[in-house]
Amino acid sequence: HSPGYFAGIASVPYGITFIEKHFTLDKNLEGPDHKASVTPDELKLLCEGIRAVEVSLGSYVKLVTDSERKNKIVARKSIVAKCAIKKGEIFTIDNITTKRPGNGISPMHWYGVLGEKAEKDFEEDQLIVHSCFSEQEV
């Protein structure tokens, strides 16, 4: 029984998906609910406000935008050999790092690479790529 329609709009960022609001054609009618009810015009504003907030919040799903796609290779980083790594050595924080460009394994997989065994020799700054691992790794 909150007055007006702002509380309904303000609830949207908190994940509210159902709003109950009393409706009236005249707030001056007798009875306790009419004063806290919304009129047709207020109901329209409530709905428009809810939809505007939903749009402004965006999606929880992270999608690559066109502008990100254009800059992905240049701006993103990949896991590379910090120094020469011999076949059989274990990848550690001392022998791998991240650098541009982003056309190798993403730093998001850093902890999946750490502790794995190098399946081949790597030169300093050489990309660590998925083909360097057996299928169950990284």
Residue 104 within any structural domain of the chain: yes
Residue 35 within any structural domain of the chain: yes
Q: What band does 74 get if pLDDT is binned at 50, 70 and 90?
A: confident
The overall average pLDDT reported for the chain is: 89
Please name which of 43, 36, 46, 42 lies closest in space to residue 10, comparing C-alpha atoms.
46
Cβ neighbours for 125, distance < 8 A, ≥ 6 positions apart: 80, 81, 99
Between 44 and 68, whose confidence is greater?
44
> Is a pLDDT exceeding 90 seen at residue 131?
no
Residue 93 within any structural domain of the chain: yes
Residue 1 within any structural domain of the chain: no
CA distance 81 to 134: 18
Q: Give the range of the structural domain holding residue 120, as residue numbers without chain letter.
A: 76-132
User: 80 and 53, same structural domain?
Assistant: no
**Alpha helices (runs of H) in the chain, residue ranges in sequence order:** 6-11, 40-57, 66-75, 110-113
Residue 102: phi, psi to the nearest 5? -95, 45
Number of domains making up the chain: 2
Residue 85 within any structural domain of the chain: yes
> Is a pLDDT exceeding 80 seen at residue 86?
yes
Query: pLDDT tens digits, residue range 109-125?
Result: 999 999 999 999 999 99
Residue 66 within any structural domain of the chain: no
Residue 70 within any structural domain of the chain: no
